[in-house]
């Protein structure tokens, strides 16, 4: 086996820890590199990234590899967080993890790894790369269907993909935990992080209110009847049930649409209300791992993380975007999220969802 110099993106979690350990055990020259993207202290004045870096240091010392930290706080705010805020202002539900992977992890961070003389960058993502044809690398789903993260990686460029390794992508999460315990790594029983990267498990509304000021506005049914008041349209997303502030007899209320221009949030009763379902969407900001398939084509797609693939037909749209038509209606398709296209295990690419505006068009003037 040829020995390579491999920089591992160390997050302080169990997945990147096991990735580094596996590569070290295989005899490679491994370097741990921690990426700091966000600066914020908790109630005790302790920075969360400092805690993560402590775990990185502990694991790297256990494995016996050098480690370094790089600061991309400025780049992250300019390229990811500011776009996140702009999308929220526009009434979208953005997914900053997709943008972070494209602009930070597999561009700025990848370039930094190459400065270390690395042959490859490795990360703890649950996906797989097939790079036997470097000019046409393939991004494959992770073997654990409950952890597959290809949805978040569809926008990375093929040059970076051809020099990236995913050492745990062929494993189940349970197997990764078992390996971490076998190696007695400091992160073996560490809880997985959840939520948006810079928000985590905190209250989304409280966090967002620090950066954006929104006015209260009406909660309307699709026939124009006001049934309540919202706190700001950015705090709500399609399909949301909790936190609307509506109760009473009958079925639960759900968010079915938003009109940022009029500061309206639309709601209807019933988990399966027809307004929650969409048979088609348009998508823009398209990126492809390799050459895009000729239009029209049939494939499967995901409109959210951990969703089962659904069959669809992809065709051109008069706006220059893509029109995606589903064979079965899909619930809670959300503008600002990504639609990602697959050919079985292969990730083809994806784009940002822009709904056809049936909901607002059907609504009477308030």
Contact 343, 323 (CB under 8 A): no
Contact 329, 270 (CB under 8 A): no
Query: What helix, strand, coil percent values describe the chain, rounded to 5?
Result: 25, 30, 45
What pLDDT is stored for residue 251 in this prediction? 95
CATH of domain 276-361: 2.40.30.10
Nearest Cα to Cα of residue 267 among 223, 231, 216, 304: 223
What pLDDT is stored for residue 200 in this prediction? 59
Looking at the predicted structure, is the pLDDT value of residue 358 above 50? Answer: no
CA distance 337 to 330: 14
The single residue of 60, 88, 100, 127 carrying the catalytic annotation is 100
What pLDDT is stored for residue 356 in this prediction? 60
Give the residue-averaged pLDDT of 308-334.
93
Mean pLDDT rounded to a whole number for the chain: 91
Q: pLDDT tens across 70-115, in order?
A: 999 999 999 999 999 999 999 999 999 999 999 999 999 999 999 9
Query: Same topology for domains 5-182 and 276-361, yes or no?
Result: no
Active site residue 100: yes
Among the residue ranges 144-148, 194-198, 262-266, the one predicted with the least confidence is: 194-198
Of how many residues is the chain composed? 366
CA distance 180 to 124: 13
Calculate the alpha carbon distances from 111 to 121, 154, 160, 292 in Å: 9, 19, 9, 26
What pLDDT is stored for residue 103 in this prediction? 94
Q: In the chain, pLDDT over 70 holds for what percent of residues? A: 92
CA distance 3 to 24: 10
5-182 to CATH, choices 3.30.420.40, 3.20.20.140, 3.50.50.60, 3.40.50.620: 3.40.50.620
Exposed, middle or buried: residue 99 (CB in 10 Å: 0-12, 13-18, 19+)?
buried
Looking at the predicted structure, is the pLDDT value of residue 16 above 90? Answer: yes
The single residue of 47, 197, 299, 321 carrying the catalytic annotation is 197
Looking at the predicted structure, is the pLDDT value of residue 249 above 90? Answer: no
Active site residue 278: no
List the chain domain ranges. 5-182, 214-269, 276-361
Q: pLDDT tens across 256-297, in order?
A: 999 999 999 999 999 999 999 999 999 999 999 999 999 999
What pLDDT is stored for residue 26 in this prediction? 97
Third-level CATH fold of 214-269: SH3 type barrels. (2.30.30)
């Amino acid at each position: 086996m040829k020995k390579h110099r491999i920089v591992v993106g160390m997050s302080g979690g169990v997945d990147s820890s096991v990735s580094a350990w596996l590569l070290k055990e295989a005899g490679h020259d491994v370097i741990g590199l921690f990426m700091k993207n966000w600066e914020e202290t908790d109630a005790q004045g302790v920075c969360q990234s400092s805690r993560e870096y402590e775990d990185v240091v502990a694991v790297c010392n256990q494995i016996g590899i050098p480690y370094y930290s790089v600061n991309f706080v400025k780049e992250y705010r300019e390229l990811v967080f500011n776009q996140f805020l702009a999308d929220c202002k526009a009434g979208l539900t953005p997914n900053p993890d997709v943008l972070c992977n494209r602009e930070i992890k597999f561009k700025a961070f990848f370039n930094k790894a190459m400065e270390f003389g690395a042959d490859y960058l490795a990360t703890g993502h649950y996906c797989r790369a097939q790079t036997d044809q470097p000019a046409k690398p393939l991004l494959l789903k992770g073997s654990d269907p409950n952890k597959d993260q290809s949805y978040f990686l569809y926008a990375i460029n093929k040059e970076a993909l051809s020099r990236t390794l995913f050492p745990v992508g062929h494993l189940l999460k349970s197997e990764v935990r078992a390996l971490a315990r076998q190696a007695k790594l400091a992160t073996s029983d560490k809880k997985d992080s959840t939520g948006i990267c810079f928000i985590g498990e905190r209250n989304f509304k409280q966090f967002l209110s620090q950066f954006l000021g929104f006015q209260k506005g009406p909660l309307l049914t699709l026939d124009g009847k006001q049934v309540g008041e919202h706190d700001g349209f950015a705090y709500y997303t399609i399909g949301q049930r909790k936190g609307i502030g509506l109760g009473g007899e009958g079925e639960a209320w759900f968010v079915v649409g938003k009109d940022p221009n009029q500061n309206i949030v639309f709601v209807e009763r019933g988990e399966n209300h027809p307004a929650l379902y969409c048979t088609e969407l348009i998508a823009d900001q398209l990126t492809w791992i390799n050459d895009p398939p000729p239009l029209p084509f049939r494939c499967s797609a995901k409109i959210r993380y951990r969703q089962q693939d659904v069959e669809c037909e992809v065709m051109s749209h008069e706006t220059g975007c893509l029109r995606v038509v589903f064979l079965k209606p899909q619930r809670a398709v959300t503008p600002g999220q990504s639609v990602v296209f697959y050919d079985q295990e292969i990730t083809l690419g994806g784009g940002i969802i822009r709904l056809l505006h049936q909901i607002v068009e059907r609504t009477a003037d308030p």
